Amino acid sequence: MNQLNVKLQKRIILIIVVMFWFSQYVYMPYQAPYLLSIGATTSFVGTVVGAYGLSQMLLRMPIGIMADRKGHHKLFIIIGACSSGLASLFRIFIPNGIGFLLGSLFSGLASAMWISFMVLYSNYFKKEDMQKSMGIIIGANNIGILVGFVMGSMFYDKFGMNFLCILSLAAAFPSTFIGFFIKEPKIDFKPLPVKELITIYKDKRLIGFSLLALVQQGILMSTAMSFTNQIAKQLGASGFQIGINSIIYILVAVITSYFSASKLAAKQGAKFWIPTVLICICIYCIIVPNTSSVLHIYFAQILIAMSTGILFSFCTSESMKNVDQKKKSTAMGYFQAIYGLGMTIIPIFTGIIVNNYNMSLAYYLMAFISFVGFLSSFYWYKFKN
């Protein structure tokens, strides 16, 4: 594939990525309030939210193995984009708890295909440019979420949930169509047996950086995506101010994602950025429960946003460093399943601590977890790398 075609294919994938994550997130902040407003119980809302994470967690490792066995990613990307659209169709035509539960399962299936988006995009780059490829595609991911958050905050109060699901559908099906124009780079391919593919699960580097991503994603879901907004509300923040809080987070995440792909970030490298950002998360978890101003929370969001833009992209590229091309999807499936576990388990335990004790204790425990992550990463780069 010549250089011109490679550039075109990179752009096609990034366009699909932005539309895909817009489709997945435009309604997401309003799903729980909507279901509660139509009479769903809080436990059922928890089931709907949990179904999204659980379906991803169960599917990512098998999908990774299937992608490596097949040797192609185009079909998985098309299935992912289409599943996102089907999820919105369920929500549009069955606008009750059952429709949203089915929608969450299909949204989870769609997000499980993210493996193929990331692996295929990285295949257009040289091995030494893995970090650059991860920074760019995670940046596109965050742009899609940012546009979704902005449009959701603009239209939900005026037009309701059904309109947001129509917007989701309007992005999903064109991205499915564009997926048919993907042309994969030619690689030497001979499928490995499943028994050999899963030996990558024992790779210490993959395990270690997957666990650091688990810490990052779990704390992110427990704070910026949920309880930090609750703290802001307790400080008197309006719905608009809470929306601004989310937009600040995702905007900084976009900027720092592209920074992580820059030569300046590469100069310092993962050895500097991973421990540094883990300390920033620790500081964030101490500041937020002790602040007395919504404005202070706005500034604190910059620290947690760096975890998405810088820490997550570096953890992804670092975890893949030892991985053979033929096992790349299997390794990515493992990586995403492990951090998906964090996205499910840490928020559950955070909720239990908040209910039984208080918000501050929950945040201090997350500060402790991130500090353990800092010590682990420091030890790795000092003695093991």
Written as tens digits, the pLDDT of the chain (385 aa) is 666 688 999 999 999 999 999 999 999 878 878 888 898 887 787 788 778 878 888 899 999 999 999 888 999 999 999 999 999 999 999 999 999 999 999 999 999 999 999 999 999 998 888 889 999 999 999 999 999 988 988 888 889 999 999 999 999 999 999 999 999 887 767 888 999 999 999 999 999 999 999 999 999 988 887 788 888 888 988 877 887 888 899 899 999 999 999 999 989 999 999 999 999 999 999 999 999 999 999 999 999 999 989 999 999 999 998 898 889 999 999 999 999 888 888 888 888 888 888 989 999 999 999 999 999 999 999 887 6
The set of residues, in sequence order, having a beta carbon less than 8 Å from that of 239 and lying 6+ positions away, is none
Look at residue 184 and tell me if it is in a domain: no
User: Do 207 and 165 share a structural domain?
Assistant: no
Contact 337, 60 (CB under 8 A): yes
Instruction: Identify whether 84 is part of a domain.
Output: yes
Same domain as 305, residue 159: no
Residue of 299, 300, 305 whose CA lies nearest to 257: 305
Q: Which residue has the tokens 């666990």?
A: 211
Three-class secondary structure of residue 320 per DSSP: coil
Report DSSP state, residue 308: I
- Of 144, 179, 214, the one marking the end of a domain is 179
Look at residue 358 and tell me if it is in a domain: yes
- pLDDT for position 1: 60
**Is 200 inside a domain boundary?**
yes
Closest to 333 in 3D by CA, of 200, 238, 192: 200
Q: Identify the pLDDT of residue 306.
A: 92
The answer to whether residue 2 sits within a structural domain is no
Considering the domain boundaries, does residue 3 fall inside one?
no
CA distances from 162 to 93, 109, 141, 175 (A): 9, 21, 24, 20
Residues 6+ apart with CB under 8 A from 299: none
DSSP string, 102-138: HHHHHHHHHHHTHHHHHHHHHHTS-GGGHHHHHHHHH
HEC letters along 37-76: HCCCCHHHHHHHHHHHHHHHHHHHHHHHHHHHHHCCCHHH
Is the distance from CB of 339 to CB of 213 less than 8 angstroms? yes
Note down the domain range covering 226: 196-385
pTM (2 d.p.)? 0.87
Q: What is the CATH number of the domain that holds 333?
A: 1.20.1250.20
